[in-house]
Structure 1
Amino acid sequence: MGVVVKRSLVALTVVALALAAAWLGLVVWFHMPKRAFLNVIATTVFGTLCAASLLPSRLGFVEPIRMAAAVGAALILVYWASLRPSADRTWAPDVARTLQATVDGSHVHLTNVRDFEWTGPERATERWVERDYDLDRLRGVDLALSYWMGPAIAHTLVSFEFDDGRHLVFSAEIRREKGESFSAFGGFVRRFESILVASEEDDIFRVRTNWRGETMHLYRLRIPPQAARALFLAYLDRAERLDRDPAFYNTLTSNCTTVIFDLMRTISPGLPADPRILLSGYVDRYAFDEGGLVPGYPFDVLRRQGDITQRARQADPGSDFSRAIRDGVPGMESTRDAR
């Protein structure tokens, strides 16, 4: 075996071990008791052991260190594997209730639709409501991307429109405990459960644009009526499964965008995988390239005119929020004319 190949294998091994050690360190950090100094100490000790174990074997003290690091890694891995998702925690108010659905033909009755009136990024007048929908009156499906961490990362939401002007948004989110904050890193190590939230647009769109300072783009999807109906029911099925069998949120494999992709694949099995599913900020371009957005417009026009951020911020409380944010969005002219 050549020197270059050997060095490459050594380099790859070091990188793989470093990534494994980093992941195990995240397990320690996020699952230690809620005392920051203990987290720092435990993570530092484990990281030091892992780093020292990469020293040359000719150093006599390295083998005991490697043994200690291996034992520590095994214990952490066993602990992580033992973790089980739960539906019984003290949840943050906005994810405290799970969606309940009753379907009778085309009629759908939903309980625990969120309709909060937000007065701050994490402060709201709480209101959970019941809603009835007729799937025969479903007239459109919209994709929303809310940017909260640069151009490559966005929270994705899907809004269903009915011919009476009402909208219902589905959003796959982490189910935070009370006082807990989101962490993308925590999402790699079973720190959070998943939940599917059903909400009014005036709640879930407005809190992101008006109170959390996010930029939101809205697109009309090109989706046949029967597929739209199947997608709506697929969301209800996922909500029921999560209510029955809690699951962990995963930043990479089970997040807001991958959930949409998985559901879309149930109604369109040929939908290709793409790196932009993971880089969710570019999923609108992916949808455009796959012919999934309203036709007849270049992508830059769809993106520019679909930026609803300022319209959302300028919409008066109590006004027709859904109508106001759609003013000028391509493919939604008939929506405005019908009211």
Structure 2
Amino acid sequence: MNRRVVLAARILAVLAVALMTGWAALAVYWSDIPGPTTRGLLAAGVVLATVLAFALTRRRARTLAAYCLAFGLFVLWWSTIEPSNDRDWQPDVAVLPYGEMHGDSVTVRNIRNFAYRTDTEYAPRYYDKTFDLSRLTAVDLIAVYWMGEAIAHVMLSFDFAGQDGICLSIETRKERGEDYSSIMGFFKQYEIIYIAADERDLIRLRTEYRRPPEDVYLYRTRLSPENARKLFLEYVREMNRLRGKPEFYNTLTTNCTTNIVRHFRAFGDTVRYNWKILFSGYTPLYAYELGGLDDAQPFEELRAKSYVNPKAREAGDAPDFSARIRLGLPGMEASRAP
């Protein structure tokens, strides 16, 4: 029994060291140390030094203790890498939105409404708009699929009766020349941005201009008007906070779905973290299971009816785009006004 315990402990130690070393090597490679060649050599050096340290010493327990101390110092250095709002941003994420709250009204500045020619060619356009919280009646969940059923980008759209509404999307804030990578998202490669935009911008970008087009599903939630207002204010406060204090995006802990859950929990909602949140493509199913979506039909039937790509293409740049894509969707008998 003792031998088995010792063997199991050794195997766990080897796995832990391998994972820690792999993470440290990638962290160095994608750090802010100048020069890709320098970073590559340092990353290789991390791996080589670890292998030699354990291969050339007999007192493995002492080596392990020294390794853990060195890893702790590395994490301390890693923690000194700070996010910034001052970088050469891609134009679509260059301007930060923010809100000004005055009683029951909120003025959102820098709402995006780009005129797209392709997904990378567009005329930047922004505007400001004041919303009356007393008219906030509903929240819609938008799930966008681009790489299978398990992964989706999740956005929320807030419906102010008679005022059209506003869509809020939590995204990576990329610099010029950067592409998105889930792996790089673990290593402080992107800041996070809350984009406030028209649905004509955020949805048409995905259904009409990206190649291949992404699949967009729109669901009416059962969130009460009171909680919808609390959630909207949570978003506005976070937009304002990030404007003064930037934050890194993290593929696992700080992304488009985990942050939504955090905002719900901030005002006492009971929604919990779940594997369906981590595998974001299942977020609509999770909301359905919690009773947050129309449950008058099986989820697969609801999902099929919530697919909006054909309606979005037909609506084009129409001023009543939001109303048109909602026609006939479950739970949306009252469409948005243009």
Scaled by the length of structure 1, the TM-score of the pair is: 0.89
Task: Map 1:215-226 onto structure 2 (within 5 A).
Answer: 215-226=215-226
**Which is further off, 35-44 or 126-135?**
35-44
Q: Following TM superposition, by how much is the alpha carbon of 1:167 offset from its aligned partner in structure 2, in angstroms?
A: 2.2
**1:56/1:332 CA distance change after superposition, 3 Å:** farther
Tell me which amino acid in the other structure corresponds to 1:286: Y
Query: Contact 2:261/2:272 (CA < 8 Å) preserved in 1?
Result: no
Q: Following TM superposition, by how much is the alpha carbon of 1:36 offset from its aligned partner in structure 2, in angstroms?
A: 4.4
Residue aligning to 1:208 = 206
Residue aligning to 1:300 = 300
Residue aligning to 1:256 = 256
Q: Report Cα offsets for 1:175-226 as digits up to 9, x if no partner.
A: 2122222222222122221121111101111112222222111111001111
Identify the match of residue 107 of structure 1 among 105, 120, 125. 105
**1:267/1:38 CA distance change after superposition, 3 Å:** same
Distance in 2 separating the partners of 1:252 and 1:9:
28
Residue aligning to 2:280 = 280
Q: Following TM superposition, by how much is the alpha carbon of 1:288 offset from its aligned partner in structure 2, in angstroms?
A: 0.6
**Which is further off, 200-209 or 314-323?**
314-323
**1:50/1:314 CA distance change after superposition, 3 Å:** farther
**Which is further off, 161-170 or 250-259?**
161-170
Residue aligning to 1:50 = 50
Query: Contact 1:111/1:129 (CA < 8 Å) preserved in 2?
Result: yes
Distance in 2 separating the partners of 1:107 and 1:67:
58
Which secondary structure does the structure 2 equivalent of 1:331 belong to?
coil
Q: Following TM superposition, by how much is the alpha carbon of 1:244 offset from its aligned partner in structure 2, in angstroms?
A: 1.9
Q: Following TM superposition, by how much is the alpha carbon of 1:320 offset from its aligned partner in structure 2, in angstroms?
A: 2.7
Distance in 2 separating the partners of 1:81 and 1:105:
39
Residue aligning to 1:2 = 2
Q: Following TM superposition, by how much is the alpha carbon of 1:90 offset from its aligned partner in structure 2, in angstroms?
A: 2.0
Is 1:25 the equivalent of 2:25? yes
Tell me which amino acid in the other structure corresponds to 1:226: E
Is 1:181 the equivalent of 2:183? no
Structure 2 portions without partners, runs of 5+: none
Q: Report Cα offsets for 1:272-326 as digits up to 9, x if no partner.
A: 3312111111111110111111242221111111111232234323353212322
**1:300/1:4 CA distance change after superposition, 3 Å:** same
Task: Map 1:123-202 onto structure 2 (within 5 A).
Answer: 123-164=121-162, 166-202=164-200
Is 1:41 the equivalent of 2:41? yes
Is 1:93 the equivalent of 2:78? no
Distance in 1 separating the partners of 2:110 and 2:185:
25
Query: Contact 1:27/1:76 (CA < 8 Å) preserved in 2?
Result: no
Tell me which amino acid in the other structure corresponds to 2:78: W
Give the length in aligned residue pairs: 336
Tell me which amino acid in the other structure corresponds to 1:254: T
Distance in 2 separating the partners of 1:13 and 1:286:
36
**1:309/1:52 CA distance change after superposition, 3 Å:** farther
Distance in 1 separating the partners of 2:266 and 2:314:
38
Tell me which amino acid in the other structure corresponds to 2:188: R
Q: Following TM superposition, by how much is the alpha carbon of 1:27 offset from its aligned partner in structure 2, in angstroms?
A: 1.1
Distance in 2 separating the partners of 1:34 and 1:151:
38
**1:211/1:66 CA distance change after superposition, 3 Å:** farther
Distance in 2 separating the partners of 1:140 and 1:158:
10
Residue aligning to 1:266 = 266
Tell me which amino acid in the other structure corresponds to 2:31: H
**Which is further off, 7-16 or 41-50?**
41-50
Distance in 2 separating the partners of 1:302 and 1:35:
51
Which secondary structure does the structure 2 equivalent of 1:256 belong to?
coil
Query: Contact 1:152/1:281 (CA < 8 Å) preserved in 2?
Result: yes
Q: Following TM superposition, by how much is the alpha carbon of 1:240 offset from its aligned partner in structure 2, in angstroms?
A: 1.1
Which secondary structure does the structure 2 equivalent of 1:85 belong to?
coil
Query: Contact 1:26/1:185 (CA < 8 Å) preserved in 2?
Result: no
**Which is further off, 24-33 or 283-292?**
24-33
Q: Report Cα offsets for 1:34-66 as digits up to 9, x if no partner.
A: 75444443333323333454548459xx99x98
Query: Contact 1:53/1:66 (CA < 8 Å) preserved in 2?
Result: no
**1:122/1:287 CA distance change after superposition, 3 Å:** same
Scaled by the length of structure 2, the TM-score of the pair is: 0.89
